[in-house]
Amino acid sequence: MSPRECAENFAIRKVNKIITLLQKRPPPWICGADTIISVDKEIFGKPQDRDDARRMLTRLQGKSHEVITAVALFKGKDKTIDCRSVKSTVTFASLSEQEITWYLDTGEWQGTAGAYKIQGLAGCFISGIQGSYSAIVGLPIHEFYVMLKENGYSYGN
């Protein structure tokens, strides 16, 4: 799968899991999102452990990579799922082994795609972004707003 297909697949699976759990009374709207990191055509999900996180950070440092965040929106009224993805580019500064170890010691890398959180301490390592900051964080706010609007969500009523 491509990084985009992978992110969209995971987002849809999250929505479907909630639909299954609430099958007797699904809510009118369910949103699921997932973020994938792609560097040199390799997909990075969440690191399995500290060593995996170190490997990811070492690969990311000093170069640019893609961040693909997919959003799946279930519309209960007609039981459809709309899924879209946003691609952004993040550039990391070069990091020393000491900086990588410091970041790993914070524990912030746990449970996050690519082993970093741009909105956290790793933000100091980011030398540039192109695209949607909120998508890099994990939910492309503008695109989600547009999805809701296009799917009939009524703002203000």
Active site amino acids: 34
| Element of type H or E holding 123 | none
Give the integer Cα–Cα distance in Å for 109 and 157. 41
Residue 83's nearest CA partner among 1, 22, 10 is 10
The first and second tokens of residue 127, run together, are 């030398």
Give the integer Cα–Cα distance in Å for 43 and 34. 13
The first and second tokens of residue 104, run together, are 């790993």
Residue entry with tokens 């390799």: 42
In the chain, % helix, strand, coil (3-state, to 5) comes to 40, 30, 30
